[in-house]
A and B are shown apart, each in its own frame.
Chain A
Amino acid sequence: MLDMNLDKLFKIAKDKGISDIQVYLSNSTNLSVQIFEGEVDKYEIADSSSLTIKGVYNNKMGVYSTEVMEDEMIDEIIDAIIASAKVIDSLDDAIIYEGDDHYEEVEGLYNEELTNLDVAKKISTLNEVDEKFHNFDKRVKNVEISYTETTNSVMLQNSKGLKLYNKANASYIISEVIVNDGSDQRVGFDVKITNDFNDYKVDEMVKDITQDALRSLGAKPVPSKNYEIVFSSLSFATLFSAFQGVFSAQAVQKGISLLKDKLGETVGSSLINVVDDPLMKKSASSRSFDDEGVATKFKYLIEKGVLKTYLHNLVTAKKDGVKSTGNGFGNGISAVNMKIEAGDTNFDYMIASVKDGIYITNVQGAHAGANAVSGDFSLQAAGYHVLDGKIGEPVALITVAGNFIEMLKDVIMVSNETKMTYYGITSPAVKIKSMPVSGK
């Protein structure tokens, strides 16, 4: 949809006094299919692009983004960039990047086979999943399966001669089942993510989700007190996602991160290793460069409990006198693929080690019940009561409360398997020494 002559845009920008300029074109194509009660209920195809133009005027950065990409827009774009640069009085430098010597190439970020696989095959797999859910148990009352496939491509070009391109794809199967035994109703939910359709293990998926939902029927709150806590991969990733912003150097420099002044200090148990892995396979977010044109790289954020680095873009890096970590995305800073690394404890052993605790499989309200500035959180949770090493009664409507840093320090076991979650965070299961639980 790019119908704009970029050379002309660059030239007019220069003529009007913009010293450096960058264009960032992002295109996304989507296919989405939803199955309900054995039929295709929704089908969606989409193709959209947007162009974000950043220009430096009097050492301030003006920005304009548009989905109308025609030559007739050029003057409007340039004028808006200048107008916005004029009102900005931030002390931040306005930087357009000259580029790195080397950009990592990773095979398989874009899997053409996934795109080319016949839609009919994708739909028949979904129908199979739907049927298997219904046949699994007669308490399964309602099944909703959807499939989404996304291809993201980005092109970055600037007046310093940099020109970069990245393309990645991924697909998701989202399953939601409602189970009802006449006296209680519960929901089973999970998302599987991959860019290789062969990775979908239908039977396993159906079994895991349905069994978890069935086991949670009749879930009740437990008495309020401190319990040993085991977080599942998904629930720990959910909790972690509420705090991922604290690694941003922007938040740190603004004084609104709990990790301020903590570089080189112990912020977690020695079992905790957190990395950003920008070239992780099978993630549609994977990128070899960030939105500022800086090469991305694998790095430890927390290594053996010690905070190693913040995430930087060009501006925050210059302020701290370091090199950008290649995490300048959108309007701010974010990790590409945040990952809490696996430990060496077998999950069954972890459960067996619990005397009186809660195995938490689900937390909710992470966007509201967690304070990324103070680190305090109080989240709705559900799971199972674990007594003398055995998973027992289902638990729901409890809250688990704590402080992010204190919790990381109290991690006493990390499981040896990780899971990529739809929060963009990959996590193992972890065991926390003790946390206050509020129930009945």
Chain B
Amino acid sequence: MLLEKKLIEALLEAGLSRGADFAEVFVEGTDSTTLQSLSGRLEKANNGKLFGVGIRLAKKFQTVYGYTNSKNPDDLLKLAEDLSKSFDDKNITKRKPLMELEVGKRHGAKIKPSEVSLEKKVELIKKAYQAASEYDEAIKQVVIYLLDSAQEVLIANSEGRFVTETRYRVRIGMNAVAAKDGVMQTGGVGPGAGKGYEYLFDEIDVAEYAREAAETAIIMLNAEECPSGVMPVVIHNGFGGVIFHEACGHPLEATSVAKNASVFCGKMGQKVASDIVTAIDDGTLENRWGSANFDDEGYPQQHRVLIENGVLKSYMIDKINARRMNAEPTGSSRRQNYKFAPTSRMSNTYIDNGDSTFEEIIAATEFGLFAKKLGGGSVNPGNGDFNFAVMEGYMIRDGKIAEPVRGASLVGNGGNILYKIDMIANNLDSARGMCGSVSGSIPADVGQPTLRVTDITVGGKRGA
């Protein structure tokens, strides 16, 4: 075990000793490997070990948090005592005895990262490199990252929760650079999963993904600049879901809702989207990138229907914000590692299937932009304004996908874009992302079927 049960109990007691009404101990030990290759040569093979303890105390809405990477009981007790001094109340909350340690059993790894030699990992990289570099002679550079991690967590709190699990993750990121006549364009993919190396060895073909990255770079190399203006935009499935993640997912997190800083405040049970929109955040999906047995407060991850047929059904809520909102937590509390106090975050978030087909949507669009692949983006939770980049885009003319265009970005507002979705296909797919917010950078899946937004501002270099 990462830390002795007796010591954990002592830390919880010390935490409550001056009037805090909640105490939590989060212990983490993480092993990770990062390999990086450039043009087929392995440049980096770094191993790392993380260990630390985070102690969180709360009284009503007020929280204090501290962390250290000491294992020394005296250091840890001093930290708990220092934190407890933020409170001064004679009413001492009594700790509930810790339950029998519950071990998270889902989302395991068949082939653990520690069981795979560096040589075998390097083989995967070489295979991907070969596929991407041979795709076209205009591919000048291929950068490949292979990342794996095993994060063991032990979470205990003054309400008796006592759980542990090990979260395995593997991911390969492949970026191809194409160049011709002084112009450079890039394409990238990054498949990954919440499991072991069985994913990369047996379940997917990394070469196929590598060719896809190269293909995007080549298409964009030969593309024209995107025109700017307001137009219908068809956003493709998979990573297209980043639109919902950024524009609607973040404002549905209690982090912004509890403080009245979200456009979705006070909208529960009300219509916030067109009738065809149903959106879900599900941290229970087997072995998915954003899944876990428990959230980082030690409560089971859940399947959360956020929006159902256009009506707001649920926020994503952590324990402390739940108090502020007078609501139940939804098992949504997450953090990058022990250096962050946990808070409400997304897990695997997606817009559910509709009943159109991809072909129908394109055919029904006389003129517009087909955003086949999106890059990253960001949103201002205060007013819902968002933007994101189009990595691979095409014009739609007369109901057909026409010439490729590059350099486009989509700008809009999360509060009203959901009303502007007028067609949703039945081809739900998802993709991996790293989501950065107050509690650090965490793995999160985004997803959606192909869908159409009636009008959206497209920024591009070519005039309107």
Contacts and interface: CB of A to CB of B under 8 A. Distances in A.
Contact-residue bracket for chain B: 35 or more
Contacts of A380: 385-387, 409, 411, 459
B77 to A, nearest CB: 14
A104 interface: no
A373 B184 contact: yes
Contacts of B42: 87-90
A40 B65 CA distance: 12
Interface string B57-89: 000011111111111000000010011001000
Interface string A67-87: 110000100000010011111
B407 A378 contact: yes
A50 B46 CA distance: 14
Contacts of A343: none
Nearest to B55: A45
Interface stretch (A13-21, A291-299, A364-372, A420-428): A364-372
B464 interface: yes
Interface residues of A, number: 75
B457 interface: yes
A374 B183 contact: yes
Given A42-B65, A90-B42, A397 B259 contact: no
A84 B46 contact: yes
Contacts of B140: 255
A438 B44 contact: no
B43 A92 contact: yes
B389 A440 contact: no
Contact of B141 (A83, A254, A367): A254
A440 B458 CA distance: 10
Interface stretch (A57-65, A279-287, A300-308, A334-342): A57-65
A61 to B, nearest CB: 8
Most buried by B among A83, A142, A438: A438
Given A367-B378, A436-B463, A255 B141 contact: yes
B67 A46 contact: yes
B355 interface: no
Most buried by B among A1, A39, A368: A368
Contacts of B339: 46, 48
A290 B183 CA distance: 34
B409 A399 contact: yes
Interface of B: 38-39, 41-52, 61-71, 79, 82-83, 86, 118-119, 122, 140-141, 143, 177, 179, 183-186, 228-230, 259-261, 263, 339, 341, 375-378, 380, 382-383, 385-389, 406-409, 411-413, 457-461, 463-464
Interface of A: 1, 36, 39-50, 62-68, 73, 80, 83-92, 141-142, 144, 176, 178, 185-187, 221, 224-226, 254-256, 258, 331, 364-365, 367-369, 371, 373-374, 376, 378-380, 382, 396-403, 436, 438-440
Given A44-B341, A176-B382, A379-B409, 8 more contacts: A62-B45, A64-B46, A87-B45, A88-B44, A364-B380, A365-B377, A380-B409, A397-B413
A-B residue pairs, 10 tightest by C-beta: A399-B459, A380-B387, A438-B228, A187-B382, A368-B376, A84-B45, A365-B387, A378-B409, A43-B64, A438-B459
